Amino acid sequence: MFHQTDVRVLQPGLTPFPVDVFAPDQPWLADHLLPLIAIDLGLLRPELAGSVVTLLCPIEPYEGCLGDGTEAHHNAFASSNWLAFELQADNRLRFLGNEGYFQRAPQNSDALPVDEDLREHAAEMQDSHAAARAYFQQHGMLVSGVDVDDEDEEPQQQAYLDNLGGPFWHGNWTDYSTIPSAFRIEDLAGTTQRGTLHFRNDSAHLPDDGIRITHDGEPFFHVADVASYNWCASGADAILMFYEPRSRTVLFTFDWS
């Protein structure tokens, strides 16, 4: 199993700040998701060479989880803290949910008006991402967009990825919210009850830390994860991206530690 941690040196197959990553008929995705790095899956599995997935950072939430408050627009592929895409033949991502999944979507203007805090947060996320991209284009190094704006501090290099490949790992993300109904997540470690409390059993002996995610019985594998704030002003402690080859489904969730 290929596994690289703290990825700070780019190799062929890793492309920061990619462009044209969304399906052409879903241009509104660019208002809600920031492209971080494109990853050729051939780095992890040679038979998937040429299939390229893009790690995305959501602009929302300001508080809570992505998808909170928009439950009327959730479906089998998008729920609180989870969202999925189809990887098309041209390696663009087609969102399998509805535009209204995002709080700032026009469909929510009446039922869920955007408050000033979220508006300012969105602008900060977009501006910091743009600053990090500009710095990378000039210097060939990733620094947080917040660091770029601090004239009193020398910008510090950030890892492009905390993990590339490697196994699943158990964390808050595994049971923070319910996975969309198109998918199934299992914790094979199980729990032991002591009094009124349940404790997770040791999973060191199990593959993928005991975590298994499937779609129609087909397993996902872990592609990559990174802290949102390596790239942008704030966000999740880990953006996790998984892939299921048969359906070409890209699945995201977020760990808040």
| Lowest model confidence (mean pLDDT) among 8-12, 32-36, 113-117, 129-133 | 113-117
| Count of structural domains within the chain | 1
Given a cut of 70, whether residue 67 has pLDDT beyond it is yes
State pTM to two decimals: 0.95
Please say whether the beta carbons of 206 and 189 come within 8 A: yes
d(CA 129, CA 25): 24
Q: Please state, in angstroms and as integers, the Cα–Cα distance from residue 41 to each residue in 82, 95, 96, 120, 213, following that order.
A: 21, 19, 21, 35, 18
Domain extent at residue 105: 3-255
- pLDDT tens digits for 191-228? 898 888 888 999 999 999 999 999 999 999 999 999 99
Specify the pLDDT at position 154: 78
d(CA 84, CA 93): 9
- pLDDT tens digits for 92-125? 999 999 999 999 998 887 777 778 899 999 999 9
